[in-house]
Amino acid sequence: MFEATQLNRRNETTQKLFRFALGGMTGILILPVILILGMLIWKGAPVISFEFLFTGPTKGMTAGGIFPALLGTVLLVLVALLASVPLGVAAAIYLSEYAPDNWFTRAINLAIINLAGVPSIVHALFGVGAFVIFFRFGTSILAASLTLAIMTLPVVIVATRESLQAVPEAFREACWNMGATRWQTIRRVVLPNAVTGILTGVILEVSRTAGETAPIMFTGAAFFLPLLPQSVFDQTMAMSLHLFVVSTQVPNMPEHLPYGVALVLISMVLLMNSLSIALRMYLRGKKKW
Amino acid sequence: MVISPRDAATRKVTAQPVKLGVSDLRIRYGDHTALEGVTLDIHEHEIFGIIGPANAGKTSFLKAINRMDMFNSDMYVDGRITFNGVDTRKVRNVYGLRRRIGVVFPLPVGLPLSVYDNVALSPRLRGEKERAELDVIVERCLRRAALWDEVKDRLNSLGSMLSGGQQQRLTIARALSQDPELLMLDEFSIAVDPVTTMRIEDVLKELREEVTIILVTNLVQQARRLADRTALFLDGRCVEVGVTEDLFTGEVSDQRTRDYVEGRFG
């Protein structure tokens, strides 16, 4: 009754073949991740130490630590966040909760998509023209951070808008029916339920900002500085540019040092990403409707 | 002249001042007309029933009263609706208007706030901050909506996590917390069991002393139990307005009314 026909057998063979092929492709996908991390840990781990993280480079950067670059990256990210989060969240709230569906809103949405597609080196040139020269910030933390902020603005806007729109429309209507204004509805019902999603987007922005090189190299990041920055109008060293410098620009570089820098940088990014994933899982567990 | 009990009932209701006056109302969504030619008055302390099949325009009618067309760029309302004699189109403070009108929609909406905050939301929107005052309002509204006994020990748990029937009663409690002059219920019993439905119906009968109620319902018998007068909406038109009992036993102006209430349709 259930004997396999020739057609059944052929289908079975084809299905096994495809399952194997598709599985194999997926396997190849994780290979680069494992290789990159493995190599960085193997070659970089020996130089990681307390001194490496918390002292400055010495002997023409061929020895010593990375503290100025580490501090610089943290500063750049912080200032960039201060600029992009209020602007991005405000824009997303307007677009999601207030904006009527007309050509102007559609144009803004199109602009955001295009902003996300602009290559980072073009952002860098824009940063030089706008912040360094026009606003006369000079090459400084402020100019570099603002360039980074503009580059990551689409990430914040899209993440915020999506978490706002995940809040069911029925909640808003229930509030409006009670005589709440749009802002009362946003503040009391919509925002509290979207805030974890917004936070996830912000953390993803941090991890992206920390790794960028092109937008900061003409606007505020320096090759080498003997002193730590005193204000946002000073230049600073940064992890990403430092990695570029120690791996290509300095002769007689000890082999392990660039790998150590790369390992610290990627750890920062991975830490941020895991934080964001953990937050998302926590959010899913606490789902309120 | 002999006044029949039925005429007396009509007179008793219509002797009250007009709470809501609707004249030549027309509602459309884009090119599609959802409701037209509706002219009726709803009087204070009246329970006004609206019956009719799906797509008859009942919910659109409620939305127009509450000026919810402001939030839907596709919805157009023509004609005149007056609330306490004031044209709702010309009301500057629409928030004040909506605060005087409580609405309960068919699908319960427990806001993702605690049970307490759900009911305290409307008083808080009005600016009430006193905890003691809020406590009183919350308990009174939850009791009236026949929910207090079930939730009094977990006022801090999420309103959106209650069962469907409980959420519906929470929605009713929230509407009552507005201290409305007009309460509009749109098929409130759809997610509620029969026993609770009867308890809420009893509450509505008591509430009539204080508020005017519009009761949209799919259950013809519910309208018969509660409503002083009832309108039948059919295919976007109001085909009948009359004392409820008349729709079932007396004179009707449209034969379809009798067919509908007796279930002889289609």
What are the extents of the domains in chain B? 5-100+180-261, 110-170
Q: Taking CB atoms and an 8 Å cut-off, how many pairs form between chains A and B?
A: 66
Residue A10 region by backbone torsions, left for phi larger than 0, else alpha for psi between -120 and 50, else beta: alpha
B71 inside 8 A of chain A by CB:
yes
pLDDT at B192 over 70: yes
Phi-psi region of A229 (alpha: psi -120 to 50; beta: other; left: phi over 0): beta
Based on the number of CB atoms within 10 Å of its own CB, is A162 exposed (0-12), middle (13-18) or buried (19 or more)?
middle
d(C-alpha B46, C-alpha B44), whole Å: 5
pLDDT in tens, B103-114: 998 888 888 889
Using DSSP's 3-state secondary structure scheme, residue B85 falls into coil
| pLDDT for residue B188 | 86
Residues of chain A with pLDDT under 70: 287-289
The answer, yes or no, to whether residue B264 has pLDDT greater than 80, is no
Q: Domain limits of chain A?
A: 64-285
Mean of the per-residue pLDDT values of chain B? 87
Contact A176 B178 (CB under 8 A): no
Contacts of A100 in chain B (CB under 8 A): 73
Count CB neighbours of B241 within 10 A.
19
pLDDT tens by residue, B129-169: 889 999 999 999 999 888 899 998 999 888 888 888 888 88
Packing angle of the helix pair A191-211, A239-248 (nearest 10 deg): 20
pLDDT of A126-163, one tens digit each?
999 999 999 989 889 999 999 999 999 998 999 999 99
Contact status, residue A113 vs residue A101, Cβ threshold 8 Å? no
Distances (CA, A) of A287 to A284, B48, B97: 5, 39, 34
Q: What is the pLDDT of residue B1?
A: 45
From CA B69, how far away is CA B73, in angstroms rounded? 7
Per-residue pLDDT at B210: 86
CATH number assigned to the domain covering A64-285: 1.10.3720.10
Q: What is the pLDDT, as a whole number, of residue B244?
A: 87
Neighbours of A167 (CB within 10 A): 23
Cβ-defined contact of A177 to B171 (cutoff 8 Å): no
**Which pLDDT value is given to residue A287?**
66
ipTM: 0.85
Residues sharing a CB contact under 8 Å with residue B96, sequence separation 6 or more, in sequence order: A179
Taking CA–CA distances from A188, the nearest residue in chain B reads B121
Contact yes or no for B113 and A189 at CB 8 A: yes
CATH class label, B5-100+180-261: alpha beta
Task: Determine the residue among A177, A182, A183, A286 to mutate to test chain B binding: the one whose Cβ has the most chain B Cβ atoms within 10 Å.
Answer: A177
- Token pair 């319902």 is found at B217
Higher-pLDDT residue of A80, B255: A80
